[in-house]
């Protein structure tokens, strides 16, 4: 109970310094014919901020100099994966890897710009 309260308080405080953003689930779905298609675009409103990559991101498989850190405040029970993209400050980023912070307040994502 105390941890949940601390998470809520910290998330509300961070919203003041994070920007409005959108998560997009780009996971392929079964097309019913033995193949897969990209789902219709859905945008989940979140709060996020862009930053320099962290040490663990530089050591991650697939890291490139184009990568950036995107910190996304957790929302409800949503779980992300590498198929997600995030639109932040009119730019789109593909999530390459991620981890939760210890308090489960945000995801620390290594991402690469895609378009926009």
Domain that holds residue 81: 2-28+40-113
Q: Is residue 33 part of a domain?
A: no
pTM assigned to the model: 0.83
Q: Is residue 73 part of a domain?
A: yes
pLDDT band per the 50, 70, 90 thresholds, residue 111: very high
Q: What is the pLDDT of residues 14-52, one digit of tens each?
A: 888 999 999 998 887 777 887 777 666 788 999 999 999
Q: Is residue 35 part of a domain?
A: no
Q: Is residue 89 part of a domain?
A: yes
Question: How many folded domains does the chain comprise?
Answer: 1
pLDDT band per the 50, 70, 90 thresholds, residue 77: confident
CATH of the domain at 68: 2.40.10.270
Phi, psi of 7 (to 5 degrees): -60, -45
Residue 95 CB partners (closer than 8 Å, separation 6+): 70, 80, 81, 82, 83, 84, 85, 86, 109, 110, 111
């Amino acid at each position: 109970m105390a941890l949940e309260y601390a998470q809520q308080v910290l998330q509300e405080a961070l919203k003041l310094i994070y920007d409005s953003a959108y998560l997009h689930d780009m996971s392929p779905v079964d097309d019913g014919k033995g193949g897969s298609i990209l789902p219709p675009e859905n945008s989940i409103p979140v709060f996020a901020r862009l930053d320099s990559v962290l040490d663990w991101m530089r050591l991650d498989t697939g890291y490139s100099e184009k990568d950036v850190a995107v910190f996304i405040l957790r929302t409800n029970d949503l779980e992300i994966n590498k198929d997600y993209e995030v639109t932040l400050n009119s730019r789109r980023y593909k999530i390459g890897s991620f981890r939760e912070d210890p308090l489960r307040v945000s995801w620390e994502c290594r991402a690469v710009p895609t378009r926009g």
